[in-house]
């Protein structure tokens, strides 16, 4: 299922998928004010995405864990990322 990460900050970030084999992980640039659709499971499997700035400093993580598919695509904001 899809989840939209929206960068509501003034700086660009890098979105790193962590819950995957290294050769198939997503690593996407997300400019300020833009959104990015990422994938996760709707079967109770945690899929973690880390947010960092270009220099490598980690801003936080999203632990996308859903037991069922919500009626509308979830949206998470970069400014609300939790501690990794």
Q: What is the pLDDT of residues 34-70, one digit of tens each?
A: 999 999 989 998 899 999 998 999 999 999 999 999 9
Residue of 39, 62, 41, 40 lying closest to 50 (CA atoms): 62
Of residues 20, 19, 84, 4, the one with CA closest to residue 52: 84
* Residue of 61, 73, 57, 64 whose CA lies nearest to 11: 57
Q: Give the pLDDT of residue 26.
A: 85
pLDDT of residue 13: 98
Q: Please, what is the average pLDDT of the chain?
A: 93
Q: Is the pLDDT of residue 25 over 90?
A: no
pLDDT bracket for residue 73 (50, 70, 90): very high
Q: What is the dihedral of CA 35, 38, 42, 45, to 10 degrees?
A: -130
| CATH code, 2-78 | 2.60.40
Share of the chain above pLDDT 70, in %: 100
């Amino acid at each position: 299922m899809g989840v939209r990460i929206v960068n509501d900050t003034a700086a660009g970030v890098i979105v790193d998928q962590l819950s995957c084999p290294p050769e198939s992980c997503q690593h996407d640039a997300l400019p300020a004010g833009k959104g990015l659709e990422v994938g996760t499971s709707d079967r109770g499997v945690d899929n973690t995405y880390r947010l960092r700035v270009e220099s490598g400093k980690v801003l936080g993580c999203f632990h996308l864990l859903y037991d069922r598919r919500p009626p509308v695509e979830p949206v998470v904001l970069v400014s609300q990322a939790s501690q990794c």
